[in-house]
């Protein structure tokens, strides 16, 4: 599952996680891999298959299952606590 549709689903889950952590003012957006350039975001949350590319642009979290809310939540919490 790749493309703008999947990135939209990831963005929705990231937004939900951030809101659940009381971080409602965080801007969450979705884009294609071509937008993963240094300075474009504080954190990239992406599919595991494009993690290497995204991590060259900045901090990145790879997801094995893009629609798995629990995976998104667990990995974002681990990132924020690191």
| Strand pairing class (44-47; 60-63) | parallel
Q: What tens digit of pLDDT does each residue of 29-38 get?
A: 998 888 999 9
User: 55: exposed, middle or buried (C-beta count within 10 Å: 0-12, 13-18, 19+)?
Assistant: middle
Backbone angles phi, psi at 56, to 5 degrees: -70, -20
pLDDT at 7: 86
15 has pLDDT over 50: yes
CATH fold for the domain made of 4-80: Rossmann fold (3.40.50)
Domain range list for the chain: 4-80
The model's pTM: 0.89
The model's pLDDT over 54-74, given as tens digits with 9 standing for 90+, comes to 999 999 999 999 999 999 999
């Amino acid at each position: 599952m790749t493309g703008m549709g999947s990135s939209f689903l990831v963005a929705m889950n990231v937004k939900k996680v951030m809101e659940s952590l009381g971080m409602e003012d965080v801007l969450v957006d979705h884009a294609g891999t071509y937008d993963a350039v240094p300075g474009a975001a504080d954190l990239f949350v992406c599919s595991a298959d494009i993690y290497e590319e995204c991590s060259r642009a900045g901090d990145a979290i790879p997801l094995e299952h893009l629609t798995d809310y629990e995976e998104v939540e667990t990995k974002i919490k681990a990132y924020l606590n690191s």
